[in-house]
Amino acid sequence: MKHSIHIAIAAFSAALSLTTQLAWAQAAAEPRQDLAQLKKTAEQFLLTQANGLPGEVRVTVGAIDPRLKLPACPVPEAFLPPSSKAWGKTTVGVRCNVPSTWTIYVSAQVRVHGEYIAAAAPLAQGQNIGPGDIAKVKGDLTNLPSGVITDASQAIGRTAATTIGLGAPLRQDALRNQQAIQQGQAVRVILNGDGFSVSSEARALNNANEGQLTQVRTAAGQVISGIAKLGGIVELAY
């Protein structure tokens, strides 16, 4: 009886060992994902996301743990996780949907080296900005606040909405268009159409910067709206 039990135990151990060996062999034979391809996928994704940014884009993707053993994926897909951004220090996800399902996250940094507009001298609140008040500066745009101006034409002719220090980057929200219309001012209302132009006198009912919608009262007492322009002009849309 004992001899039979020993034989059964030996047979079970041999079968278990064979099963384990077969599992190891199958795992070893299963194609593994090329980690270098995943880094390339993340890099190309970030380069595509940065397309159109004003400057030279440089992408650096962090290392992937070489101990990571992932089943091979024919078409790995990169994506931005929630709260991640496409520039500066960020995180990129790479996932596989078929034939296996897995997701990894890779650290990366996107630098955009280009020109931006800075104050060439201290600017007082309400000061009109001319060509001599600004300078072009080169740097990593991803380290600057959002809304930084990169084209001088977006700053010249506008006014500082707040005090701006020497060398400070000019932001869109720190500038405003010049005041074009003052309340009570006599203005000329112009209506341009296809092959014709009509103008009349009116009086402004509110202050307005260039490009803003404003209201005027005509000599006949009619209140109409138009776009404020420099020189006391209000343009009506036809």
Question: What does the mean pLDDT of the chain come to?
Answer: 86
pLDDT digits (tens, 9 = 90+) for 88-137: 999 999 999 988 899 999 999 999 999 999 999 999 998 999 999 999 99
Nearest to 171 by CA among 183, 180, 162: 162
CA of 221: how far to CAs of 93, 120, 131, 169, 229, in Å?
Answer: 63, 47, 42, 46, 22
Phi/psi at 33 (5° precision): -75, 135
Q: Where are the domains of the chain?
A: 31-177, 179-236
Q: What whole-number distance in Å separates Cα of residue 122 and Cα of residue 126? A: 12
pLDDT digits (tens, 9 = 90+) for 163-198: 999 999 999 999 988 888 889 999 999 988 787 888
pLDDT band (50, 70, 90) for residue 81: very high
| pLDDT the model gives residue 26 | 46
pLDDT band (50, 70, 90) for residue 23: very low
Distance of CA 100 to the CA centre of its chain: 32
Mark 73-92 as b/e (b = at least 16 C-beta within 10 Å).
beebebeeeeeeebbeebeb
- Identify any residues that bridge with 175 across adjacent strands, giving them in sequence order: 160
Tokens (6 digits) for 206: 């509110």
Q: What whole-number distance in Å separates Cα of residue 56 and Cα of residue 28? A: 43
Contacts of 116 (CB under 8 A, 6+ apart): 136, 137, 139, 141, 144, 148, 149, 150, 169, 170
CATH of domain 179-236: 2.30.30.760
pLDDT band (50, 70, 90) for residue 4: low
| pLDDT the model gives residue 107 | 96
Mean pLDDT confidence for 130-158: 92
| pLDDT the model gives residue 52 | 81
pLDDT at 8 over 70: no
Q: Give the range among 21-30, 33-42, 77-86, 174-183 with minimum mean pLDDT.
A: 21-30
Fold for the domain defined by 31-177: Type Iii Antifreeze Protein Isoform Hplc 12 (3.90.1210)
pLDDT band (50, 70, 90) for residue 209: confident
Q: What whole-number distance in Å separates Cα of residue 205 and Cα of residue 185? A: 8
Phi/psi at 236 (5° precision): -100, 145
| pLDDT the model gives residue 97 | 92
Mean pLDDT confidence for 2-26: 46
Domains 31-177 and 179-236 share a fold: no
111, exposed or middle or buried, with CB in 10 Å at 0-12, 13-18, 19+? buried
User: Which is more confident, 76 or 195?
Assistant: 76
DSSP letters along 5-45, please? HHHHHHHHHHHHHHHHHHHHHHHHHS-B--HHHHHHHHHHH
pLDDT band (50, 70, 90) for residue 29: low
Mean pLDDT confidence for 200-211: 90
Mean pLDDT confidence for 69-91: 93
pLDDT band (50, 70, 90) for residue 21: very low
